[in-house]
Amino acid sequence: MASDVNARVMSSFLDYLRIEKGLAPLTVSAYTTDLGQFAEFLGPRKRVFTSATRQDVRDFIQQLFANSVDSRSVGRKLSALRHLYRHLLIDEKINHDPTLNIDSPRQWKVLPKSLAHDEIESTLASPRAVNDSRLAAALAARDHAMLEVFYAGALRVSEIVGAKLEDLKLEMGYLLVRGKGDKERIVPLGKSAQQALAEYLREARGVLAAGKSSPVLFLARGAHALTRQRVWQMVRAASAASGRTASPHMLRHSCGYALINRGTDVRTVQQYMGHASISNTVIYTRLDAARFNRLWKD
C-alpha cells in the first residue's frame, strides 16, 4: 500500500537524519510533520514519495499558500522535501529529484481567492430588504448596485467608496474610477450593473440622501459617506447566501479570472483593473484549465 511505502521511506530518512546527521529531536519532528503533510497531499493522486513529480511539489506549495501558510513555513517544508529527495537520489531510490528548479517561496505569487460562477450569481442576488420600509428597500437597492459594480468593474473598496456621482456616465455605460496613485481609468459596466445602478438612482439614493446633497455615488443613510468597514460587512453578508465568506477583493479577483477566461488579453485586463505592473495581472492566467472549467462553466 502507498502508506506503507511512504512509511518505509520516511523511517529510513529520519533514521539518517538522527544517526548520521545528528539533527536535534525538534528538527526531526518538524521534518516528520512536513513530510507527512506531503504524503497526505500525494494520497489522492495515487502517488508515493518515490513517484512524485515536480508538478506535485509545485501544486503542494501552491496549496499551502492558498491555505494562508506563511512563506517561512512553506520554505521549511520545501527544505524538508529537498533533503528527502537528495537522500533518495544518493541512495539510488529515484532517478530524478522533483524539487529541482522549484522557486523559493518568496518568489511565488499566491493565486488570489475568487468565487465560482454560481457563487457570484448567488452573492449578486442576495441583498433583500429586511422589512417593508422605504429605507430598507433603499439600502437593499444600494447594496445590490454596489455588488454589481464591484464585480463588473473589478473595483477596490477605496474606489467604490470614493466614487462620485459625476464619475458615473450611465447613459454611456461606464464609470470613471480613481485608483491607486490617483490614476484614472474608465471601467465599462455591463447590462446588469447598469440596470442596478439605474434602480438605485431612481428609487434609493434620494431616500438615503434625506434631502441633503452629497457628491458621493453610494450613500449611507443621511447622505453620509460609506466606510470601508461597512462595505466589507455588506459583502460578507451577501456572500453568505453562496456558502462562502467573501471579501470585496474576492469579487475583484473573480472579475479578473473571468476576463482572462473569456479570452481578454492580459494588457487589456491590466488596464481594466488598474494594475501598475503587468506581473499583478499575469497571475490570473496561472489557473490550470481544469480549474477554469470548474469555476466558470455555465
State pLDDT tens for residues 38-73. Answer: 999 999 999 999 999 999 998 898 888 877 777 788
Question: Choosing from 77, 87, 144, 275, which is the catalytic residue?
Answer: 275
From CA 277, how far away is CA 241, in angstroms rounded? 34
Average pLDDT, the chain: 86
In order of 126, 143, 145, 247, 248, the CA distances from 190 in angstroms are 19, 17, 12, 21, 18
Ordered domains of the chain (ranges, CATH): 2-107 (1.10.150.130), 117-296 (1.10.443.10)
Question: Choosing from 249, 253, 257, 272, which is the catalytic residue?
Answer: 249
CB 160 within 8 A of CB 231: yes
From CA 236, how far away is CA 283, in angstroms rounded? 25
From CA 196, how far away is CA 217, in angstroms rounded? 13
- By CB atoms closer than 10 A (0-12, 13-18, 19+), residue 70 is exposed
**Residue 87 annotated as catalytic:** no
pLDDT average, residue stretch 142-166 = 93
- Check residue 61 and give its pLDDT: 87
**Residue 156 annotated as catalytic:** yes
pLDDT average, residue stretch 147-167 = 93
pLDDT band, very low/low/confident/very high, at 214 (cuts 50, 70, 90): very high
Question: Choosing from 109, 180, 191, 230, which is the catalytic residue?
Answer: 180
pLDDT band, very low/low/confident/very high, at 277 (cuts 50, 70, 90): confident
From CA 186, how far away is CA 272, in angstroms rounded? 8
- The amino acid sitting at 225 is A
Q: Which three cell numbers, joined as nine digits, stand for 290?
A: 481544469
pTM equals: 0.61
Question: Choosing from 85, 252, 257, 272, which is the catalytic residue?
Answer: 252
Q: pLDDT of 169-207, one tens digit each?
A: 999 999 999 887 778 999 999 999 999 999 999 999 999
Beta pairing partners, 225: 219
pLDDT band, very low/low/confident/very high, at 103 (cuts 50, 70, 90): confident
